[in-house]
Structure 1
């Protein structure tokens, strides 16, 4: 780190960042309470938070509501253009995955989803909401919107499993191409609660539209990732020819 230190907040930032880089503050460990850190650095809570919020924005530490600050575990490497399933992707990186079903319903499609899924206004969609964790830490809240005509009775199945595998096994449907929109957003209250975040915290949103082997649109996924939990990594060799 070669940045010139000019403020007390920068001094605190560099001191804590150095402790994390050299492993003194280990991955997943909890930082002392803000009051103790303020006393340690002989500073105000306002100055301390300036340093902590900078580290949070960079993803080196994170907050959990009513629990405090923690050192962020290594990011999960995610290549959207591979066909790796979530559990397969996580376990291939030596981590432990867990999927929990939050709710299932059949809902009226929003105007945005009508466009994404190429359905008529006032169409109904199956919605599956799930929480996905890595090493016990919730990192992604996802909403799956499915065309009911392709998946009769799917809401009765064990939806902690991979939906891709359920499509194959129960409906003889194989996922083909997919399109992606990836952009930053802020956590609304419901999503923030599941991810143990303060409302308004930064998230990475990935909207994915999946097609079947015949080119028909199947579903739309809205993934809300903790911004510090994932690194998007793509290799052009994994892509089809792109003009």
Structure 2
């Protein structure tokens, strides 16, 4: 196991020079073994680059190469402002007739949270009007949200609602951090999934910023229509999920 932050600096002999195995590769193998053997549990925060470089007796360039390799292997993940952590297993995310982010994340033993990042009333595009069964150009309320599990961004999404039917919904979302609780206040909490479409693409600049993703990562784009018990559409959403943080499960 790697020393704790209070442990003395590891001697340079912790990696073997002249062994024929590159120092960065030895570091990868040591951290890899600690993760697989359970000495470094998912969610564990690693020491800083400087601390690790000192403990392994290498320069920071060598240490960074090792960390980059572990990141590419999906074993660790750096989150801006939080540090580098042993990666949590993907969240098992069932998509069924009743799909609720907070319930799913809580069921995985993680702490869900959400925050409003923008809202506005705009004319419905042809796609959104069709999804919500409205005349093209009708006023729709757009709500943009970021949702996290244990402080790690999982999905960023845009959600559209008939403006007149869902008046002040954005204010309720801002107050509660939850779309479900906000819709319950309007008497629309018993919504059901009517349709789901799933595609994948490379994360663009906005995805990388919101989801704290490095360049080259993939997002899964989930477009969904949710409706009331009479199957009248309430919401059309387009959410981008960090592909390596969730496992989408389609329930029959």
Bigger Rg over Cα: 2
Same fold (TM over 0.5): yes
User: How far apart, in 2, do the equivalents of 1:88 and 1:20 lie?
Assistant: 28
Deviates more, 1:119-128 or 1:91-100: 119-128
Instruction: Pick the aligned partner of 2:89 from 63, 74, 77.
Output: 74
User: How far apart, in 2, do the equivalents of 1:85 and 1:186 lie?
Assistant: 25
Q: TM-score, normalised by structure 2?
A: 0.71
Matches within 5 A, 1:69-218: 69-81=84-96, 83-159=98-174, 160-172=176-188, 174-218=190-234
Extract structure 1 runs of 4+ deviating beyond 4 A.
7-16, 34-41, 43-50, 65-69
Q: Write the deviation string for residues 83-137 of structure 1: whole angstroms up to 9, x where unpaired.
A: 2532222223322111111111112334443443344433332111111111122
User: How far apart, in 2, do the equivalents of 1:65 and 1:223 lie?
Assistant: 22
Deviates more, 1:146-155 or 1:43-52: 43-52
Q: Count residues with an aligned counterpart.
A: 227
1:54 CA drift (Å):
3.6
Partner of 2:7: none
Q: Write the deviation string for residues 182-234 of structure 1: whole angstroms up to 9, x where unpaired.
A: 22222222332222223553222211111221122221122222222212234
Unaligned ranges ≥5, structure 1: 1-6
Deviates more, 1:185-194 or 1:134-143: 185-194
1:158 CA drift (Å):
4.2
Q: TM-score, normalised by structure 1?
A: 0.73
Pair 1:232 & 2:251 matched: no
1:81 CA drift (Å):
0.5
Q: Secondary structure at the match of 2:164?
A: helix
User: How far apart, in 1, do the equivalents of 2:40 and 2:168 lie?
Assistant: 49
> CA-atom RMSD, angstroms?
3.5
8 Å contact 1:65–1:197 — kept in the other structure? no
